[in-house]
Amino acid sequence: MDDRSVDHRLFEEAAAGRCGTEPLVRAACAALGDIAAGRREVRAVRHPLGFLCFPVERGGDCGVCIHAFGGEAHEPAPPLTTSPVHAHSWDLTSCVLYGQVINVSVEVTGHQQSPTHRVFEIVSDPAGVDELRPTSRLVTHEAGPAQTSGPGDIYTLPAGQFHTTLVSGPGAATFLLGCSRPGGRDLSLGPLHGTGHRVVRQQCDAEQSARIAGSVLRRIHAPHRR
Residue 207 has pLDDT above 50, yes or no: yes
Residue 109 has pLDDT above 70, yes or no: yes
Phi, psi values for residue 42, rounded to 5°: -115, 125
Q: Which of 28, 41, 192 is nearest to 117 (CA)?
A: 192
8 A C-beta contact, residue 97 and residue 87:
no
Helices (H), 104-143: none
Give me the mean pLDDT over the 66-76 stretch.
74
pLDDT band for position 76 (50/70/90)?
low
8 A C-beta contact, residue 168 and residue 100:
yes
pLDDT > 70: what percent of the chain?
93
Structure pTM?
0.92
Give me the mean pLDDT over the 83-87 stretch.
96
Tens digit of each residue's pLDDT (9 = 90 or more) over 128-179: 899 999 999 999 999 999 999 999 999 999 999 999 999 988 899 999 999 9
